[in-house]
Homo-oligomer: A and B are copies of this chain.
């Protein structure tokens, strides 16, 4: 079969959906053979591309193990629907074949009652491990870990350990086995070695002697960010989750840490955009659910921004005296917001990746004040030149066809230009400082630094920005 044309937008696997539907009609039994070599991620893409009502049929034509793999990669909402449509018995026969962590993720999406019905149909061992894992919060190490891993006693030989790993590889369970954990007689984690190191171990070596005794571990309550940072910093294939007694409860594998890091980045981006993080992909979330996630912050920001109306109300006399001030109002307040947004986005990420620490705040503040002054001066020069140039064009009566060019800012135009320029220096420096300090303040107060969103910073800076502007105007223009 020649491979279908690659389409950047549409995965190849989706193009196979019609072929497989035709096969389902003609010889359902051969479907399993046809898709034997397909990666489960592609199987899931095929299922997502076929008409919704034919998916259950397709799923049932596959062996339980393949159906389980498919479900692990399937769109969460579709997976929940399919499991709800099956009898608890049918669902249990499939989910029992999933790795414990994927099984818990799949059940997580269902009503508690329905999940419990399926769990009740599981064999004893799988039921126990599923209920144990369900007790952890989904975004913690405990919620991300799988309980299928390979651990061996420290006093056996490397050859015996390799035999144990091979037996596990041939078994029914899906152990994470690229890191092998070593335990003492009390079952406490005392070492680790990679499968590569095990294969390289000299004949007859005692395992405890070839393993690494320093093991990076996490507590089951550790948050997702901690888990992904350790996996990334140490280039681990898996990080073991240990309890306070030093016994290993499970492992978080690198693929799950990778997924968790991507989810974290998405949620941070959404928060930085000024909304609550969605817990579902954009294409799947319902209208009102999305509305709620956006309306909360938007209303709060709106209420915050109302202080600009209060402040401007207090300056209404000044505006009456020089309406020219109103003309540059959006320009000045937005410059504060923009420079604040730069500082915030920089420091949210720097804090998330631990490039800077909380204790570095004053060093960052000093640097950002200097940067703010430099950036503010740059904008001040541009702003001053713009006003003088427009005034000059208006004097000269320049025009482009019937469109007059320039603008007459009144007899005090030099003072107008100077007011705008000096305000810009103040507003940009203030914006930069507030924007860069807000993520620190958030973390210090126990919030996610990413909650310091661009709109939040803009709102904070807007009120102060216009106060700076009118104070400068009172001293220069309105003396």
A interface, CB within 8 angstroms of B: 9-10, 37-39, 41-42, 165-166, 169-170, 177-178, 195-197, 199-200, 212-214, 216, 231-235, 237, 254-255, 257-259, 261-262, 265-266, 268-270, 272-275, 278, 281-284, 287, 290-291, 294-295, 297-299, 301-303, 305-306, 308-310, 312-313, 316, 319-320, 323-324, 326-331, 333-335, 337-339, 341-342, 344-350, 353, 355-360, 367, 370-371, 374-375, 378-379, 382-383, 386, 407, 428, 453-455, 458-459, 462, 466
In the bound assembly, the distance between CA atoms of A165 and B301 in angstroms comes to 59
Q: Which residues of chain B are within 8 angstroms of A283 by Cβ–Cβ distance?
A: 350, 355-356, 360
A275:B342 contact, CB within 8 angstroms? yes
B335:A178 contact, CB within 8 angstroms? no
A298:B200 contact, CB within 8 angstroms? no
Q: A258-B258, A299-B378, A355-B281 are in contact. Are A214 and B274 (CB under 8 A)?
A: no
Write the chain B residue with the least CB distance to A266. B349
Q: Which residues of chain B are within 8 angstroms of A348 by Cβ–Cβ distance?
A: 269
Which one of B10, B39, B197 contacts A234 once the chains associate, using CB atoms below 8 Å? Answer: B39
In the bound assembly, the distance between CA atoms of A345 and B310 in angstroms comes to 30
Chain B CB within 10 Å, residue with most, of A178, A195, A345:
A345
Which one of B269, B323, B341 contacts A274 once the chains associate, using CB atoms below 8 Å? Answer: B341
B341:A287 contact, CB within 8 angstroms? no
A216:B39 contact, CB within 8 angstroms? yes
Nearest-Cβ distance from residue A354 to partner chain B, whole angstroms = 9
Q: A269-B345, A338-B458 are in contact. Are A371 and B287 (CB under 8 A)?
A: yes
Write the chain B residue with the least CB distance to A332. B305
In the bound assembly, the distance between CA atoms of A324 and B309 in angstroms comes to 10
Q: Which residues of chain B are within 8 angstroms of A339 by Cβ–Cβ distance?
A: 294, 298
A274:B338 contact, CB within 8 angstroms? yes
Nearest-Cβ distance from residue A474 to partner chain B, whole angstroms = 16
Q: Which residues of chain B are within 8 angstroms of A41 by Cβ–Cβ distance?
A: 233-235
Per assembly, the copies of the chain total 2
Nearest-Cβ distance from residue A45 to partner chain B, whole angstroms = 9
A335:B165 contact, CB within 8 angstroms? no
Write the chain B residue with the least CB distance to A45. B233
Q: Which residues of chain B are within 8 angstroms of A328 by Cβ–Cβ distance?
A: 309, 312
Write the chain B residue with the least CB distance to A394. B313
Query: What 14 additional pairs, Cβ within 8 angstroms, besides A269-B272, A270-B345, A270-B346?
Result: A232-B255, A237-B237, A262-B265, A269-B349, A272-B345, A275-B345, A290-B371, A298-B378, A302-B383, A305-B331, A305-B334, A337-B337, A338-B455, A454-B454
Q: A334-B458, A347-B282 are in contact. Are A329 and B329 (CB under 8 A)?
A: yes
Q: Which residues of chain B are within 8 angstroms of A258 by Cβ–Cβ distance?
A: 231-232, 254, 257-258, 261
In the bound assembly, the distance between CA atoms of A303 and B338 in angstroms comes to 12
Write the chain B residue with the least CB distance to A360. B283
Nearest-Cβ distance from residue A457 to partner chain B, whole angstroms = 9
Q: A255-B254, A348-B269 are in contact. Are A177 and B165 (CB under 8 A)?
A: no
Write the chain B residue with the least CB distance to A328. B309
Nearest-Cβ distance from residue A196 to partner chain B, whole angstroms = 5
In the bound assembly, the distance between CA atoms of A308 and B281 in angstroms comes to 36
B294:A309 contact, CB within 8 angstroms? no
Q: Which residues of chain B are within 8 angstroms of A281 by Cβ–Cβ distance?
A: 350, 353, 355
In the bound assembly, the distance between CA atoms of A203 and B262 in angstroms comes to 40
Q: Which residues of chain B are within 8 angstroms of A359 by Cβ–Cβ distance?
A: 9
Nearest-Cβ distance from residue A201 to partner chain B, whole angstroms = 9
Q: Which residues of chain B are within 8 angstroms of A324 by Cβ–Cβ distance?
A: 316
Chain B CB within 10 Å, residue with most, of A165, A266, A353, A462:
A266
